[in-house]
Amino acid sequence: MVPKVRFKGFTDDWEQLELSKMVDVYDGTHQTPKYQKSGIMFLSVENIKTLKSNKYISKEDFEQDFKVYPQKGDILMTRIGDIGTANMTQINDPVAYYVSLALIKPFKINSNFLTFSISSDSVQRDLWKRTLHVAFPKKINKNEIGKIQISFPNESEQISIGKILILVSECITLQQQQLNLYIKLKKGLLQKLFPKNGEMVPEIRFADFTGDWEQRKSGEIFSSTSKKGYPELPVLSVTQDHGVVKRENLNIDIKYDKTTLKNYKLVSNGDFIISLRSFQGGFELSRTRGIVSPAYTVFEFKNPREHNHEFWKNWFKTFKFIQSLKTITFGIRDGKSISFSEFKSLRNTFPADVKEQEQIGNLLEKIDSVINLQHEQLNKLESLKKYLLQKLFI
Q: Report if residue 159 sits inside a domain.
A: yes
Question: What is residue 280's predicted lDDT score, i.e. its pLDDT?
Answer: 55
User: Is residue 21 included in any domain, yes or no?
Assistant: yes
CATH number at residue 172: 1.10.287.1120
As a whole number of angstroms, the distance between CA 239 and CA 275 comes to: 8
Number of Cβ within 10 Å of residue 140's Cβ equals: 24
Q: How far is Cα 147 from Cα 145, in angstroms, rounded to an integer?
A: 5
* 25 and 133 share one domain: yes
Predicted confidence at residue 277, as pLDDT, reads: 60
Residue 7 belongs to a domain: no
The strand ranges marked E within 197-324 are 214-217, 222-224, 236-239, 243-246, 265-267, 272-274, 283-285, 290-292, 297-301
| Paired strand residues for 243 | 239
What's the pLDDT at 1? 83
Q: Is there a single domain that holds both residue 225 and residue 338?
A: yes
CB 273 within 8 A of CB 238: yes
Cα of first residue to Cα of last residue in the chain, in angstroms, is 8
- Domain total in the chain: 3
Helices marked H in 106-149: 111-118, 121-130, 142-145
The dihedrals phi and psi of 372, each to the nearest 5 degrees, come to -65, -40
| Crossing angle of the two packed helices 354-391 and 155-192, in degrees rounded to 10 | 170
| Phi then psi dihedrals of residue 306, to 5 deg | -95, 0
The pLDDT tens digits along the chain (394 residues) read 899 999 999 999 999 999 999 999 999 999 889 999 999 999 999 999 999 999 999 999 999 999 999 999 999 999 999 999 999 999 999 999 999 999 999 999 999 999 999 999 999 999 999 999 998 999 999 999 999 999 999 999 999 999 999 999 999 999 999 999 999 999 999 999 999 988 999 999 999 999 999 999 999 999 999 999 999 999 998 887 778 988 887 766 666 677 889 999 999 999 999 886 655 558 999 999 999 999 889 999 999 999 999 999 999 999 999 888 887 765 555 545 688 988 999 999 999 999 999 999 999 999 999 999 999 999 999 999 999 999 999 9
Q: Which residues contact 331 (CB under 8 A, 6 or more apart)?
A: none
In a domain, 5, yes or no: no
Bond prior to 137 in cis (omega within 30° of 0): yes
Same-domain check for residues 263 and 388: no
Residue 212 DSSP one-character state: P
**21 and 142 both lie in a single domain:** yes
Dist CA 90 CA 70 (whole Å): 9
Choosing from 137, 152, 167, the residue where a domain stops is: 152
Pairing verdict, β 297-301 and 222-224: antiparallel
The sign of the CA dihedral 62, 68, 72, 77 is: negative
Q: 13 by DSSP, 3-state: which?
A: coil
pLDDT at 137: 93
Q: Please report which helix (H) or strand (E) contains residue 221, including its range.
A: helix 218-221
Helices 111-118, 121-130: axis angle to 10 degrees equals: 70
Query: What is the structure's pLDDT at 258?
Result: 75
Instruction: Indicate if 114 and 31 belong to the same structural domain.
Output: yes
Under a CB-based contact definition with an 8 Å cutoff, are residues 33 and 42 in contact?
A: yes
Predicted TM-score of the model (pTM): 0.85
Q: Are residues 41 and 143 in the same domain?
A: yes
User: Tell me, what CATH number does 69's domain have?
Assistant: 3.90.220.20
* Domain carrying residue 129: 15-152
Residues 229 and 328 in one domain: yes
Same domain for 226 and 160, yes or no, is: no
Angle at 295 between CA 289 and CA 301, to 5 degrees: 50
